[in-house]
């Protein structure tokens, strides 16, 4: 089939009020777990490369693996740059074949966020690559990106219309109280804020930091316009738990396939569960 844009995938999600999972890939086993789940569930899916993922696997491997997976897949697959840090990085990803990019200008003042996001849209749209922007600042840690709780900011509904009109982004990540990484307490999502934002713009909204958020809150978020849900931490947990279990049961095992195989299965189960929860199963 080949890679499709996130815009294309989210158009159907918005029209039919469901959300599509965006899962971070760092190696072949994670990619296969995601794709196998998508095929089994007949679900569209978004693959994402984070800063750490690119550093670990390399842009060439990430792109080649994702392209191969999309070509073999019988469901829509997108490849998105997650939390893009610069214009130059976005251009590199587009050149390598990403079908979507996120430019995260959320650490800049509003006008600078608008300026960099607009610049990205200007190069991405002519070549059919969709763009995700971010408003507010999501707390927590993902790879090299760390935002202290005190620096986390919720998205300001007053900025939303102006941001979308000026930048022409295809989807918008909004900080509503979630955080990256493992939660210490129970996350408290600001649903009122989300409803308000959703009433102001006609655009698919994105929820970051969704690992560890209760099923009930995820469903409430989808009902209030969330169409893309990012999951990384829960895959890491499934992977590492399975590897630890295997090695505890069989400390003499030296075959990487026998160690990584159960981890791949465990991650697939997580992805299947999320697809059913998000309502994307049987939508492809
Ligand atoms: O961009 C990636 C996601 O927002 C990761 O969130 O750490 O809750 O899985 P997570
Ligand atoms: Zn994120």
Reply yes or no on whether 202 is catalytic: no
Question: Domains of the chain, with CATH numbers?
Answer: 6-278 (3.20.20.70)
pLDDT tens, 90-99? Answer: 999 999 999 9
Mean pLDDT of 252-280: 98
pLDDT band of 213, cuts 50, 70, 90: very high
pLDDT tens, 176-204? Answer: 999 999 998 999 999 999 999 999 999 99
Distance (Å) from CA 137 to ligand 1 centroid:
13
Q: Distance between CA 201 and CA 159 in Å, rounded?
A: 11
pLDDT tens, 16-43? Answer: 999 999 999 999 999 999 999 999 999 9
DSSP state of 4: -
Catalytic residue among 82, 104, 170, 217: 82
Minimal-distance CA residue to ligand 1 atom 2? 230
DSSP labels for 17-62?
T--EEEEE--SHHHHHHHHHHHHHHT--EEEEE-HHHHHHH-HHHH
pLDDT band of 152, cuts 50, 70, 90: confident
Res 4 pLDDT > 90 = yes
Q: Which ligand is nearest to the CA of 53?
A: 1
Q: Distance between CA 200 and CA 20 in Å, rounded?
A: 22
Res 1 pLDDT > 90 = no
pLDDT tens, 43-68? Answer: 999 999 999 999 999 999 999 999 99
Minimal-distance CA residue to ligand 1 atom 6? 209
Q: Given phi > 0 = left and psi -120 to 50 = alpha, else beta, which region is 17?
A: left
Q: How many CA atoms lie within 13 A of 76 on its CB side?
A: 22
Res 145 pLDDT > 80 = no
């Amino acid at each position: 089939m080949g890679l499709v844009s996130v815009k294309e995938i989210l158009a159907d999600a918005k029209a039919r009020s469901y959300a599509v999972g965006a899962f971070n890939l760092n190696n072949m086993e994670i990619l296969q777990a995601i794709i196998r789940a998508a095929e089994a569930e007949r679900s569209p899916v978004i693959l994402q490369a984070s800063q750490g993922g690119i550093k670990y696997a390399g842009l060439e491997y990430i792109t080649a693996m994702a392209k191969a997976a999309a070509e073999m897949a019988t469901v829509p697959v997108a490849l998105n740059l997650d939390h893009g840090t610069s214009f130059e990085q976005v251009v590199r990803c587009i050149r390598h074949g990403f079908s979507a990019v996120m430019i995260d200008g959320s650490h800049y003042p509003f006008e600078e966020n608008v300026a960099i996001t607009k610049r990205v849209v200007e190069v991405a749209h002519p070549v059919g690559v969709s763009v995700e922007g971010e408003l507010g600042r999501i707390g927590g840690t993902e790879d090299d990106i760390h935002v202290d709780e005190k620096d986390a900011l919720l998205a300001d509904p007053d900025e939303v219309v102006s941001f979308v009109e000026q930048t022409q982004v295809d989807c918008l990540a909004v900080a509503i109280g979630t955080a990256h990484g493992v939660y210490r307490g129970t996350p408290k999502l600001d649903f009122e804020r989300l409803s308000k934002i959703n009433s102001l713009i006609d655009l698919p909204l994105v929820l970051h930091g969704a690992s560890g958020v209760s099923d009930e809150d995820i469903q409430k978020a989808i009902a209030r316009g969330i169409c893309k849900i990012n999951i990384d931490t829960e895959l890491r947990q499934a992977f590492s738990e399975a590897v630890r279990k295997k090695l505890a049961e069989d400390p003499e095992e030296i075959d990487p396939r026998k160690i990584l195989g159960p981890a791949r299965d465990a991650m697939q189960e997580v992805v299947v569960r999320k697809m059913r929860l998000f309502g994307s199963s049987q939508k492809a």
